[in-house]
């Protein structure tokens, strides 16, 4: 006979912790990409303006 009862009694904050962790991982990914993009754009901008100088 299959036991359909939950294996463990997960406290309510367990789900919230999970959602917070997922959000932090998503944010960390976006943040690191933004830092990378910011550096790339700054370098390109510097490169372009130094090329334009006589």
Partner 1 sequence: MGNVRLLLQWFLGLAMVVIILGAFLWARPAASFVGQSSRIVFFHVPQAWVAFLAFLVAAIHSGLYLKHRRIENDEAAAGAARLGIVFCVLATVTGSIFAKVMWNSYWNWDPRETSIVLLLLVYGAYLGLRGAIEEPERKATLSAAYALAAFVTVPFLMFAVPRLYSSLHPDTVINARGKVEMSTDIRVVFFSSTAAFTALFFWLFSLDRKVSRIVREASLRHEQELAA
Binding site for partner 1 (CB under 8 A): 13, 16-17, 19-20, 23-24, 27-28, 31, 34-35, 37-38, 41-42, 44-45, 48, 52
State the DSSP code for 21: H
Residue with tokens 């976006």: 30
Q: From CA 2, how far away is CA 53, in angstroms rounded?
A: 77
Least distance (Å) from partner 1 to the CB of residue 7? Answer: 23
Q: What is the dihedral of CA 14, 18, 19, 24, to 10 degrees?
A: 140
Q: Which is nearer to partner 1, 4 or 52 (CB)?
A: 52
Least distance (Å) from partner 1 to the CB of residue 50? Answer: 12
């Amino acid at each position: 006979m299959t036991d359909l009862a939950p294996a463990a009694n997960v406290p309510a904050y367990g789900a919230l912790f999970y959602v917070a962790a997922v959000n932090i991982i998503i944010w960390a990914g976006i943040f690191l990409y933004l830092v990378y993009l910011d550096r790339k754009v700054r370098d390109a901008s510097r490169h372009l303006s130094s090329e334009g100088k006589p």
